[in-house]
Structure 1
Amino acid sequence: MSTPVKRLTTSAMIASFADPGQPTTSAPFGHALAELAARDSRIVGLTADLGKYTDMHVFAQAHPDRYFQMGMAEQLLFGAAAGMAEVGLVPFASTYSVFAARRAYDFLCLDIAEPNLNVNIVGGLPGLTTGYGPSHQATEDIAIFRGMPNLTIVDPCDSVDIEQAVPQLAASEGPTYLRLLRGKVPTVLDEYDYRFELGKAAVLRGGNDVVFVSSGLMTMRALQAADELAAHKVDVAVVHAPTIKPFDSATVLHEIAGDRLVVTLENHTVVGGLFETVASAAVRAGVSGPIVPVALPDEFLAAGALPTLHDRYGLATDRVVERVLSELG
């Protein structure tokens, strides 16, 4: 009798990437924004018919008089947010990352970024955090946004990053783009004496053989892979870079200088994201040596169960470990 094949399943649309039994925090963005608004009357929340799916509904329940449902019209969402910022409010506008990057780019660029307004764009389902296929997988959002002047880009790892980032984004001059992790978000960084600081990278652990430079949910995977590689007698350092732009070149370059294997890890296409940001900084500084990317391929991805897709496209912890061992030979 053959052994049944174990099938990896999850909700395709709003899927959690948390491991079974892993500590999580529910709707960290929504709660952080509601708490900030209780202290700052300038905070307003807007969404394009996606309040429930970007955790903005938590803010709406706490501050209904400061919540604006703009309907399925991202251009209107960003235009209204720009107008609110012009009169001194601090808007947080949520939608899916694909709609922010692909559908409303011109409004963000000319209505918000060019006048350098304090508008905070919150993009749900970044990278491969949904199984719904190319229409909802924002695998190239950072690549689209990196060239926009004045725009700050944040790719948080977990609930700690999100909770601490929200007030700093509100206080930052100019527009920001947050790659939102929503729902039950893993809580990881509380074990590493870590605090989010806008524009800064952080060394979470040291290591003599390999240096991981990671952002977003891939920092969680980097830490897991580092633990597993220790069993293979491979000592791995992990540098978390939650702010993609402006990039903390000084911290990252200090860590990747030397003869250790350097690996970047990101929940984004290999084109135009963290890998190319690190590689560009290294070339400009004259830091030599190969940099190995762990990233999504330059292609439209399949639909399916999220764990299966992470395994197929190399984001799963086991795939990261295999990649490093193969590079070390």
Structure 2
Amino acid sequence: MGAAGQDQSTLFRGDDAELRLKDAKSVRGTPARTMPAFILGEELADLADHDPRIVVATADLANSSRTRDFANRHPDRFIDFGIAERNMITAAAGMASCGLVPYVATFASFAGILAAEAIKTDCAYPRMPVRVIGHHSGISMGFYGTSHHSTEDLGMMRPIADLTVVCAADANQLRAILRASVDHPGAMYIRLGRGRDAEVYSTVPDDFAFGRATQLRDGRDLTIIATGSQVHASLAAADRLAEQGRSVRVLDMHTIKPLDEQAIRAAARETKAILTVEEHNVIGGLGSAVAEVLVSEERKPFRRHGILDEFSLIGPPAALYAHYKLDADGVTDVANGLLKEIN
């Protein structure tokens, strides 16, 4: 219970529409209902109400991922493996081979990095419909340090054949991803933020499709291609640049693999420069994927923005985002720098 008698499960689920977290600097008063990680269990439970194939597992993180909400409603289809991430994913592949659709959740550093081999060999290679959910990705674990930061997972997941890789920007998009994932063929890696990501989509997008980017804003001077937590920051930066007379297109490249190459090529033809923004190492993630497309096109000013090739610092998430220029101010500054160069 909280200080005012507030049930903590209400905090995580966001049942109280007026409830707001108090850490204004890190959270900025984000409504609990808009927190991606915190609606994960609820949405999966809703899907499971109508689909007996869906099972959910966690590696001792039922509260952090809120898969506890699934366990409360479907206890016979929920397994907590304890701190055994690779075993969990291998077991999920076994469940999938029996006709189930397993969703397994743990920190992204343990899912996409520690258990990469299990994802490759046990899930992707035999094309098992396992959905590995890596939550608290990037630098969102803050003080937990390098072992819990996940700035390499996209680079590890992208080269795995027959693996779909997708990043949720907010709670409503996560709902769309989960709904679209149930009958999607093969294995999937779903990357979530810290569960306190600001709203990008006011409703669940009904036109969501894997492999098709969403254009959130049109422009001619610059295209910002962002994914996951950086979509909101990029939209805010585009608004600030518009006030300066800059016309900026924003693409939500939610699916890292398969990549929407057509949207990238259109941006290269129709705008003057391209900037990728991601909460990930600039090597191996979204920026590298976009560069692989652009290299075969007419040369266009291009910059990758994210974590430089280094181990990220330790500190509160808000301070880390500011330090690495992954907040609205930082993305605006980087975009302005690129625009000044090309002019």
Q: Does 2:306 correspond to 1:314?
A: no
1:161 to partner: Cα distance = 1.1
Question: For 1:99-138, what aligned pairs fall within 5 Å after superposition?
Answer: 99-131=110-142, 132-138=144-150
The answer to whether the 8 A contact 2:138-2:193 is kept is no
Q: Which of the residues 296, 301, 325 maps onto 2:312?
A: 301
Match of 1:142 in 2: 154
The answer to whether the 8 A contact 2:172-2:204 is kept is no
Q: Structure 1 residues 25 and 45, CA, compared in 2 at 3 Å: closer, same or farther?
A: same
Q: Structure 1 residues 259 and 164, CA, compared in 2 at 3 Å: closer, same or farther?
A: closer
Q: Which of the residues 77, 93, 107 maps onto 1:96?
A: 107
Counterpart-to-counterpart distance in 1, 2:250 and 2:187: 29
Match of 1:3 in 2: none
1:52 to partner: Cα distance = 0.9
Q: Structure 1 residues 183 and 219, CA, compared in 2 at 3 Å: closer, same or farther?
A: closer
Match of 2:61 in 1: 50
Q: Does 2:278 correspond to 1:278?
A: no
Letter in 1 for 2:210: L
Match of 2:242 in 1: 230
Counterpart-to-counterpart distance in 2, 1:276 and 1:183: 26
Residue by residue over 1:148-201, the C-alpha shift from the partner in whole angstroms, topping out at 9 and shown as x without a partner, is 111100011111110010021121110000012354443222279774211110
Q: Structure 1 residues 246 and 104, CA, compared in 2 at 3 Å: closer, same or farther?
A: same
Counterpart-to-counterpart distance in 1, 2:255 and 2:321: 23
1:19 to partner: Cα distance = 3.3
Q: Which of the residues 20, 24, 30 maps onto 2:29?
A: 20
Q: How many residues get paired?
A: 316
SS at structure 2 position matched to 1:189: coil
Letter in 2 for 1:28: I
Aligned alpha-carbon RMSD (Å): 2.1
Counterpart-to-counterpart distance in 1, 2:48 and 2:83: 25
Counterpart-to-counterpart distance in 1, 2:216 and 2:261: 16
Q: Does 2:44 correspond to 1:33?
A: yes
Residue by residue over 1:6-48, the C-alpha shift from the partner in whole angstroms, topping out at 9 and shown as x without a partner, is xxxx98xxx9964335685242222211110001000000111
Q: Structure 1 residues 293 and 24, CA, compared in 2 at 3 Å: closer, same or farther?
A: farther
Q: Which runs of 5+ in 2 are unaligned?
A: 1-21
- What TM-score results when the alignment is normalised by the length of structure 2? 0.87
Q: Which runs of 5+ in 1 are unaligned?
A: 1-9
Q: Does 2:229 correspond to 1:217?
A: yes
Counterpart-to-counterpart distance in 2, 1:97 and 1:295: 17
Q: Structure 1 residues 287 and 61, CA, compared in 2 at 3 Å: closer, same or farther?
A: farther
